[in-house]
Chains A and B, each alone.
Chain A
Amino acid sequence: AQSVTQPDIHITVSEGASLELRCNYSYGATPYLFWYVQSPGQGLQLLLKYFSGDTLVQGIKGFEAEFKRSQSSFNLRKPSVHWSDAAEYFCAVGAIGDYKLSFGAGTTVTVRA
């Protein structure tokens, strides 16, 4: 069975500093990996996804993520955060034709001035 672990429940970062959110997954087949962002009271917005190919994936809003098969990880990064990046971030895993996405519990990011 697939599972996703986001080890950090809450991260506080200064505006302009770099951000890295961790995600580890367990999946029997070749995984599809996703990062979603949820702003307060809003739905989930897809930041980026990895299906195959280049293991460094670029997404929207200046985010990128790197797939490391040997570590079963798909960490999300941003070089310089903006106050508007304060939100909850979810990592999810699926597979081709697998509609049951499995989500991690989320990491809440707080941005301080």
Chain B
Amino acid sequence: NAGVMQNPRHLVRRRGQEARLRCSPMKGHSHVYWYRQLPEEGLKFMVYLQKENIIDESGMPKERFSAEFPKEGPSILRIQQVVRGDSAAYFCASSPQGAEETQYFGPGTRLLVL
């Protein structure tokens, strides 16, 4: 019974490169959420997706960030032209339909921008 899976666990990028973070939800879960954790802070909501739909991206920066959850395959959080301020831990969570408030988290991807 695999939990939420994220890869890579650690990612190093130079300024201006692209970062792609992947998340596979728990089996049977159709809702995916992305959160960002900056150093010394709690997690902040970024985006909520269902299969092939972005439900709420109000927490995601308007530029350079995008997310998708295709019909097949993992959810992807994409950061274009990364800057040092993007260095953070990015967590994915999933929930079953009808229980959106109970979210199960993956191990996170720690992004370091040099």
Interface positions of A (Cβ within 8 A of B) = 4, 32, 36, 41-46, 49, 90, 92, 94-106
Given known A90-B43, A99-B33, A101-B45, contact A43–B101 (CB-CB < 8 A): no
Minimum C-beta distance from B96 to chain A (A): 12
For B55, list chain A residues within 8 Å (CB).
99
Given known A4-B42, A44-B91, A105-B40, contact A97–B108 (CB-CB < 8 A): no
Indicate if B59 sits at the interface (CB-CB under 8 A): yes
Are A97 and B101 within 8 A (Cβ)?
A: yes
Task: Give the B interface residue count (CB, 8 A).
Answer: 26
Q: With contacts A46-B105, A96-B101 known, what are 20 further pairs, Cβ within 8 A?
A: A36-B105, A42-B108, A43-B106, A49-B102, A90-B42, A90-B43, A95-B101, A97-B100, A98-B100, A99-B45, A99-B56, A99-B100, A99-B101, A100-B45, A100-B59, A101-B103, A102-B42, A103-B42, A104-B42, A105-B42
- Bound Cα distance from A106 to B43, whole angstroms: 9
Interface string of B91-105 (1 = CB under 8 A from A): 100010000111111
For B33, list chain A residues within 8 Å (CB).
99
Residue of A32, A41, A45 near B101 (CB, 8 A) is A32
Are A99 and B48 within 8 A (Cβ)?
A: yes
Q: Which B-chain residue is minimally distant from A4 (CB atoms)? A: B42
10 A-B interface contacts by CB (under 8 A): A36-B105, A43-B91, A46-B102, A98-B101, A99-B48, A99-B95, A99-B101, A100-B59, A101-B45, A103-B43
Indicate if B74 sits at the interface (CB-CB under 8 A): no
Residue of B42, B44, B48 near A106 (CB, 8 A) is B42
Interface string of B43-81 (1 = CB under 8 A from A): 111001000000110010000000000000000000000
Are B105 and A44 within 8 A (Cβ)?
A: yes
